[in-house]
């Protein structure tokens, strides 16, 4: 009988303890609210924009919970930029995990193959990309102008030939028309050479563009200093850090 009473008392104590734990968790909301930001590779700069603007070198933790829609962007040298949107909910511990995609020479090549200068822009070579795009636009414009002038010369030559053939019976007129045929033929030959030169220039710029994207793909693993900022909204503080790669 005493054994049963002890078991019953123990059950009551256990139940009260569980209720006490539940009440404590309900009052505190469980674990403290917060947002954990992690990224691969480590050290990526992750920026969160919404009601607050936060940026730091991942991994880092925002100890105070945030609420609402935020835009999340992440960057790291040698990796493609990350851009997404996320809705944070109050009272929920969020863990944002970001995996960046490494840039490759194959992707750079395909971009430059489609649009000149795009591969260079993809790898962060903004000046070179601007130069290639400008040179490509200028070469293409020059080629179009040369093509139009060549076609005009061909049309004039064909008209001259038609006039000559229609007036062959008139010897005096035929002689003048034959000179016109020779003149327009000479113009066609000159403009054909200029068009070919324009085509070579445009082709050379395009070829340089794709070869540069593939063979001169930049090495992103370079020596230098890395600067990081880790924010803490709760106490409005910032933690700064430096690292060096030799």
Q: What is the pLDDT of residues 107-150, one digit of tens each?
A: 999 999 999 999 999 999 999 999 999 999 999 999 999 999 99
50 domain-assigned: yes
The one-character DSSP state at 218 is -
Contact 156, 187 (CB under 8 A): yes
CA dihedral sign of residues 207, 211, 213, 216: negative
Q: Does the residue 82 lie in any domain?
A: yes
Is the model's pLDDT at 1 over the cut of 80?
no
Distance in angstroms (rounded) separating the CA atoms of residues 225 and 61 = 23
pLDDT band at 33 (very low <50, low <70, confident <90, very high): low
- Alpha-carbon distance 176 to 184, whole Å? 13
Q: Is 0.75 topped by the overall pTM?
A: no
Residue 69 shares a structural domain with residue 152: no
Between these two residues, 246 and 121, which has the higher pLDDT value? 121
**Predicted confidence (pLDDT) at residue 23 exceeds the cutoff of 80:** no
Q: Give me the number of domains the chain comprises.
A: 2
Percent of the chain clearing pLDDT 70 (strictly above): 76
Q: Copy the structure tokens of residue 25.
A: 């968790």
Is the pLDDT reported for residue 235 higher than 60?
no
- Give the mean model confidence (pLDDT) for residues 197-216: 96
Phi, psi of 175 (to 5 degrees): -65, -40
Can you name the residues that pair with 237 across neighbouring β-strands? 232
CATH code (residue 82): 2.60.40.1120
Does residue 2 belong to any structural domain of this protein? no
For residue 177, the tally of other CB atoms under 10 A from its CB is 20
Q: Which range of residues forms the domain containing residue 66?
A: 19-103+223-245
Helix (H) or strand (E) holding 84: strand 82-88
Instruction: Indicate whether 75 belongs to any domain.
Output: yes
Query: 201 lies in a domain?
Result: yes
- Positive or negative CA dihedral for 57, 58, 62, 68? positive
- Establish if 53 belongs to a structural domain: yes
The verdict on 56 and 127 lying in the same domain is no
Q: How far apart are CA 127 and CA 147, in angstroms?
A: 30
Q: Are residues 99 and 111 in the same domain?
A: no
Residue 89 C-alpha from the chain's centroid = 30
Report if residue 183 sits inside a domain.
yes
Residue 3 lies in a domain: no
* pLDDT band at 54; cut points 50, 70, 90: confident
pLDDT at residue 19 in the model = 31
């Amino acid at each position: 009988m005493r054994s049963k009473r002890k078991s019953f008392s123990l059950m009551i104590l256990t139940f009260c303890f569980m209720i006490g734990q539940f009440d404590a968790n309900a009052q505190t909301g469980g674990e403290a609210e917060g947002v954990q930001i992690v990224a691969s590779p480590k050290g990526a700069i992750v920026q969160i924009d919404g009601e607050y603007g936060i940026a730091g070198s991942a991994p880092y933790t925002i100890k105070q919970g945030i609420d609402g829609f935020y835009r999340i962007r992440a960057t790291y040298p040698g990796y493609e930029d990350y851009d997404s949107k996320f809705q944070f909910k109050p009272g929920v511990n969020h863990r944002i995990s970001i995996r960046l995609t490494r840039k490759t020479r194959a992707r750079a090549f395909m971009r430059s193959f489609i649009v000149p200068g795009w591969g260079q822009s993809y790898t962060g070579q903004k000046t070179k990309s601007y130069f290639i795009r400008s040179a490509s636009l200028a070469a293409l414009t020059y080629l179009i102008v040369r093509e139009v002038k060549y076609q005009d010369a061909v049309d004039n030559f064909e008209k001259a030939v038609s006039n000559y053939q229609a007036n062959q019976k008139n010897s005096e007129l035929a002689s003048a028309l034959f000179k016109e045929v020779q003149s327009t033929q000479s113009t066609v030959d000159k403009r054909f050479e200029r068009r070919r030169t324009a085509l070579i220039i445009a082709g050379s710029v395009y070829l340089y563009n794709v070869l540069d994207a593939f063979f001169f793909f930049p090495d992103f693993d370079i020596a230098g200093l890395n600067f990081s900022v880790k924010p803490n909204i709760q106490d409005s503080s910032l933690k700064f850090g430096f690292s060096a790669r030799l």
